[in-house]
Amino acid sequence: MENTPVWRGNKLSSGSTEPGCLRRGGFPHPPGPARSGSLAPTPRTRPSGSAWSIVALCILLLCLSSCSKEPAAKEPVVPVQVAAVEKTTIEHTVVAQAVLFPLAQSAIVPKISAPVKSFLVKRGSRVHEGELLAVLEHQDLTAAAQDTKGTYDQAQATYEISTGADLPAEMQKAQLELQAAQQMLDAQQKVYESRQELFQQGALPRKELDQSRVDLTQARNQYEMAQKHLEAMQAIGRQQTLKSAAGQLESAKGKYLGATAQLSYSEIRSPINGVIADRPLYPGEMAAAGTPLLTVMDVSQVIGRAHIPQQDAALLKLADKATITAPGEEPAEGKITVISPALDPNSTTVEVWVQAKNPEQRLKPGTSVRLSMLAQTIPDALVIPAASLLTAEDGTTSVMLAGSDNRAHQKPVKVGVRQGDDVQIVEGVKEGDRVVASGAYGLPDNTKIQIEQPKPQTDENEKKSGADEKKSGGDEK
């Protein structure tokens, strides 16, 4: 007999010969021996395919109903930190890289070529204006100066003699010559008149009368010449004589001063106050005219020279406050002293000079420094942290405002002046608005946010110092 599953009690058993019949209500009757009096045993039948389909459908509906009752996914909340829009005074500072130069610098070049006799200073020595720094060989120049001085003294003596003695003697001589010419003219006039009377009487030949007329004419000419000479001496003779003597004196004096100047060129003196920055030669070496012998720098003040864009230079003016910051040094206060009126044709920038005091000589010429020039001060400016500002690819700027509904709302803004970590907002926000300072980057508009308080800086410092102490304690162990 085939081994078919049968119901035993409430379970299906494999010992029955036929499947049990379903009870009323859809459950099969348990298998068992035929009741007495029955004509034949009750047949057992298996559940049909439609019944199984109904059961599977019911199970599916139960599953769907249970799934529909699960709660919906929660909206994400982004933690952010916010900062309030404040009204404060902000400064527009123009920053540029520059190179330091001394306030004054002089490369001392000898005007004559001569060996160096001695140096009185060395590199790094502090000197004052007019101080003697070096001496060149000058024996030949000393001799030339003495020679010209003698010539000058001689010319000066000649001038004194000319003005004191020669001029009166010349005047007296001219007067005597005029008197002699006058007497000669009078004598010749009398001779001519007497001979003319004799000639009219026939007692004198005409030849002697003509000779007397010639002598009279010569005497008159001599008189006129003597008279003009005396008048010239009286009118311009004194002035011309003095001028001639003075000219000779000045010529001798010029030669003497020239020789003295040549001698002074052998003494090298400092033209400014400062420090000896360079001394390339040693005593005994040849100092050539036109070649620097010493270099003196005045570093009591320094000048930072920078090239800045034209739009930034337009905001600056002379005497504006500025600072010079060198690597590893404290900023030095200064002011703008030069703003070039023309652009550099190569870089189309404007050269600006910032001058600052350098009493301790910490700032060295030639150092690359940073210039910070105060161009504008704006009172009552609306300021937000620079981290709150969002810049799109097209250049537009915006911020994320933290609304009262605990959501972030994107707001376009117009930016003004920047100062360090602060940015001025010209348009788009008002005082008291809260902007997302940390976490705004990539945050979609209308996102739900949760405001977090920033961690105190002191706590972080304490943790860091505690970690350092532990580390140092471990190293000691």
Three-state SS for 328-358 is CCCCEEEEEEEECCCCCCCCCCEEEEEEEEC
Q: Fill in the amino acid letter for 79.
A: P
Torsion of CA 150, 156, 162, 163, to 10 degrees: -170
Domain 379-457 CATH class label: mainly beta
Class at the top of the CATH hierarchy for domain 298-377: mainly beta
The confidence score (pLDDT) of residue 202 equals: 80
Could you identify the residue written with the tokens 């035929």? 34
Q: How far apart are CA 291 and CA 270, in angstroms?
A: 16
Cβ atoms of 296 and 127 closer than 8 Å = yes
Which structure tokens are listed for 138? 């000058």
How would DSSP label each residue in 85-150? -EEEEEEEEEEEEEEEEEEEEEEE--SS-EEEEEES--TT-EE-TT-EEEEE--HHHHHHHHHHHH
State residue 416's pLDDT score. Answer: 87
CB-CB neighbours of 379 under 10 Å? 8
**CA-CA-CA-CA dihedral for 301, 307, 312, 313, to nearest 10:** 60
Beta bridge partners of 422: 385, 419
**Cα 176 to the center of its chain, rounded Å:** 84
User: How far is 233 from 173, CA to CA, in rounded Å?
Assistant: 10
Structure tokens at 409: 């709302």
Which pLDDT score, from 0 to 100, does residue 214 have?
Answer: 87
Q: Which residues are paired to 334 by β-bridges?
A: 322, 356
Give the pLDDT confidence score for residue 237 in this predicted structure.
54
- In this prediction, residue 267 carries a pLDDT of 93
Predicted pLDDT of residue 34:
42
Per-residue confidence (pLDDT) for residue 417, from 0 to 100: 86
End-to-end CA distance of the chain: 89
For the chain, domain boundaries: 6-62, 139-264, 298-377, 379-457
Q: Is 257 helix (H, G, I), strand (E, B) or coil?
A: helix
Find all residues with CB under 8 Å of 156, minimum gap 6, and list them.
Answer: 249, 252, 253
What pLDDT score does 195 carry? 82
pLDDT score, position 54? 72
**Residue from 349, 354, 361, 293 nearest 323 by CA:** 354
SS3 category, 422: strand
* Total-model pTM: 0.54
* Strands in 111-270 per DSSP E: 114-119, 126-127, 132-136, 267-269
Ranges under pLDDT 50 in the chain: 1-45, 67-70, 72, 459-460, 463, 470-477
Determine the Cα–Cα distance for residues 270 and 106; give it in Å rounded to an integer: 8
Q: Is 298-377's fold the same as 379-457's?
A: no
> How are strands ordered across the β-sheet holding 132-136?
267-269, 132-136, 114-119, 286-287
